[in-house]
A and B are shown apart, each in its own frame.
Chain A
Amino acid sequence: MNQSDSIRTIRLSGELEIGRKDEIREALRRSASDRAVLVDLSDVTYADSVALTELLRFCVSSSRDAIPVALVVRTPQFARIVQYAGLAAAFKNFDDRDAALAYLAQSGAE
């Protein structure tokens, strides 16, 4: 996890499957100090329903607490999963990390 100003970055990569549930859950653990969260999924190529559940619950929970969340999705395979899982419609998606950071910085300033 990297700290860039007040933006927390969570990075996951590879195929997110049930076998990595604990790792994913630990990475997506909510923190009281969160002001804005960038979930960097640039290198993710696949996510099963268990991993998607963790990701969705984190995003919904953060959104409910008015914590801005931005997802960085770059692989077309995972972008398709993100699309039909509703993540693309319900949360901010970017294919560029700088754009995501800019969005979060702007959200935090508002």
Chain B
Amino acid sequence: MSRRIPIPLVLTLGFLALLVGVLVAGGVLVRSILTASYADAEHVRSARIVSADALRAQLDEETGVRGFSLVRDRLLLEPYSRGRAVLPGLLRRLRSDDGTLALRDAGRFVADADATNRRWLRQVAFPLLFVKRRNGHVLELHGKILVDRFRADIAAIDAALVRREKQGDAGAERAIGLANGFAIAAIVAVIAAAALFTIQQYRLAARLELEREKSEQQRRRAAEIRAAYEAEKRIADTLQEAFAQRVLPALPGVRLSATYIPATEEAKIGGDWYDAVQLPDDRVLLAIGDVAGHGIEAAVAMNKTRQMLISSALADPAPGQILERVNAEVVAAEFPMITAMAGVVDARAFKFSYSAAGHPAPVLFEPGRGARFLEVGALPLGINRDAEYATYCVTTVPGAMLVLYTDGVIEHSHDVLQGETLLLEAVEAAAGRAGQDPATEIREDIFGHHRVSDDIAILTIHFLNSAAVAGMPETAALRRTA
């Protein structure tokens, strides 16, 4: 896996590379300017020495000629000869330097000095050397004028060389200034790059710290949510456990069985419940319901609704009226939507009267007819204060079995028709086996030993035939919830 290089680092490195390139190029430029400037200065100094030597040679020539003219001793011609030997070469070098150094106006002074020397030789030196003249002082005076002119030419050449030297010094100074500028720019650029890099590093560190804090907050939040969920589940578990009862009512002519399986851990706590409460005259109140939603709110709503339903049944056991009274209280309490069924079994008359509020239809199995769904169809509790709940009555036969359940029994595959078919088959199988706990048999027939995602409650009541009734013990009436 390739690791991505941070853009700020790339920018900083690129900037430094560009800076190094500019510095190298600047250094080469400054070095070439300085080298040229120093070479030029050396050349100028050399030219000034040559011009001074030329003047000295001219003066030597004059000194020699004047001395010889006074005493006519050839020994005194030695300075003249020495100057005469070197002066043409020196003037050639000056002409050459004039071209090399491109001295403005100096060329004409070199030419004039050369011409002046030639005139001096022709008009002064040679007459004095080779012709004895009585007017020698006149020639010497003319010679002095020419030598002064030569001196003025040399002074003008020297002045040009001095100007050129100053120009060279100024160039060197500019080069040094340029070098200083490069150095300062480099320092500023390095400081800027360092500052940029530092700022980027600081931002990166700040962002990493922010992300770390965010991650830590999310971890803490997740832990808090998990803890809150576990606390809520413990409370809801405790509530359900507290409300649960172990023994169903037993009375002559009927046998009750029930099963309740809570939802899986992931689906949280459900609001399913059932009750079986013995009423006077061998009658039994059967109630089953399901509060929409999960958690403590559903558990509390479930418990209060269950209490209201039993209280209402004890006052007036007509199922439709029970549900209408409970519905009014559920609407007033603003509970979540609740599906429920209330039914009263008359064990002596084999009668079952019931009313349903948005709840799946109960199943009635009768020997010879098999299992079928009973009629239902009314709004759930808590939806409409004015909802009406009809009471249905069924008269059945010995050996019949009623099955009440919550929606998790038929909706596990989200295909209700398929779920209802499985339920009818399971009810018929359980009725055929005539076991002691048909509720559990039905549940295992449908779900096997798999865990369920929603709550499941099943309550059965089996109308016994006369032989079975004779063997039934009498026990206290109890209710059971899940």
Residues of chain A whose beta carbon lies under 8 Å from any beta carbon of chain B: 15, 45-46, 48-50, 52-53, 56-57, 60, 76-78, 80-81, 83-90
- Chain B residue at minimum C-beta to C-beta distance from A51: B292
Asked if A77 and B417 sit within 8 Å, CB to CB, the answer is yes
The verdict on A84 contacting B337 (CB below 8 Å), with A45-B415, A60-B384, A77-B417 known, is: no
Task: Kindly identify, within residues 345 to 399 of chain B, every residue whose CB is under 8 Å from any CB belonging to chain A.
Answer: 356-361, 376-380, 383-384, 387
Asked if A45 and B380 sit within 8 Å, CB to CB, the answer is no
B378 CB contact (under 8 Å) in A80, A81, A86: A86
Asked if B377 and A83 sit within 8 Å, CB to CB, the answer is yes
Asked if B379 and A90 sit within 8 Å, CB to CB, the answer is yes
A48 to B417, CA, bound (A): 15
The verdict on A85 contacting B416 (CB below 8 Å), with A49-B337, A53-B292 known, is: no
A26 to B384, CA, bound (A): 21
The verdict on A84 contacting B290 (CB below 8 Å), with A46-B416, A53-B336 known, is: no
Please count how many residues in chain B sit with their CB below 8 Å of the partner chain's CB atoms.
28
The verdict on A50 contacting B292 (CB below 8 Å), with A45-B415, A60-B383, A84-B377 known, is: yes
- Kindly provide the distance from the CB of A3 to the nearest chain B CB, expressed in whole angstroms: 28
- Note all chain A residues with C-beta closer than 8 A to B339: 49, 85
Secondary structure at the A interface, as helix, strand, loop or mixed, is: helix
- 23 A-B pairs with CB atoms under 8 Å apart are A45-B414, A46-B414, A48-B411, A49-B290, A49-B339, A50-B293, A52-B358, A53-B337, A57-B383, A60-B384, A77-B416, A77-B417, A77-B418, A84-B358, A84-B359, A84-B360, A85-B379, A86-B378, A86-B379, A88-B377, A89-B378, A89-B379, A90-B379
Instruction: In the A-B complex, list the 10 residue pairs whose CB atoms are closest, starting with the nearest.
Output: A86-B379, A49-B292, A46-B414, A53-B337, A86-B378, A89-B377, A85-B358, A60-B384, A56-B383, A80-B416
- Kindly provide the distance from the CB of B323 to the nearest chain A CB, expressed in whole angstroms: 11
* B420 CB within 8 Å of chain A: yes
A87 to B383, CA, bound (A): 11
A48 to B410, CA, bound (A): 12
- Note all chain B residues with C-beta closer than 8 A to A81: 416
Asked if A80 and B420 sit within 8 Å, CB to CB, the answer is yes
- Note all chain A residues with C-beta closer than 8 A to B275: none
B407 CB contact (under 8 Å) in A49, A56, A57, A76: A49
- Note all chain B residues with C-beta closer than 8 A to A83: 376-377
Asked if B417 and A76 sit within 8 Å, CB to CB, the answer is yes
- Kindly provide the distance from the CB of A89 to the nearest chain B CB, expressed in whole angstroms: 5
Secondary structure at the B interface, as helix, strand, loop or mixed, is: loop
B337 CB contact (under 8 Å) in A52, A78, A87: A52
Asked if B416 and A56 sit within 8 Å, CB to CB, the answer is no
- Chain A residue at minimum C-beta to C-beta distance from B294: A18
Interface string of B70-84 (1 = CB under 8 A from A): 000000000000000
Asked if A84 and B383 sit within 8 Å, CB to CB, the answer is no
A97 to B420, CA, bound (A): 28
A86 CB contact (under 8 Å) in B361, B377, B416: B377
Task: Kindly identify, within residues 270 to 311 of chain B, every residue whose CB is under 8 Å from any CB belonging to chain A.
Answer: 290, 292-293
> Which of A53, A60, A77, A86 has the largest number of chain B CB atoms within 10 A?
A86
> Which of A53, A76, A80, A85 has the largest number of chain B CB atoms within 10 A?
A85
18 additional A-B residue pairs with CB within 8 Å, beyond A60-B384, A76-B417, A86-B379: A15-B414, A49-B407, A50-B292, A52-B292, A52-B358, A53-B292, A56-B337, A60-B379, A60-B383, A80-B416, A83-B377, A84-B359, A85-B339, A85-B358, A86-B377, A86-B378, A86-B380, A89-B378
A50 to B339, CA, bound (A): 12
A26 to B36, CA, bound (A): 85
Asked if B411 and A46 sit within 8 Å, CB to CB, the answer is yes
- Note all chain B residues with C-beta closer than 8 A to A56: 337, 379-380, 383
> Which of A46, A60, A77 has the largest number of chain B CB atoms within 10 A?
A77
- Kindly provide the distance from the CB of A58 to the nearest chain B CB, expressed in whole angstroms: 11
A36 to B232, CA, bound (A): 43
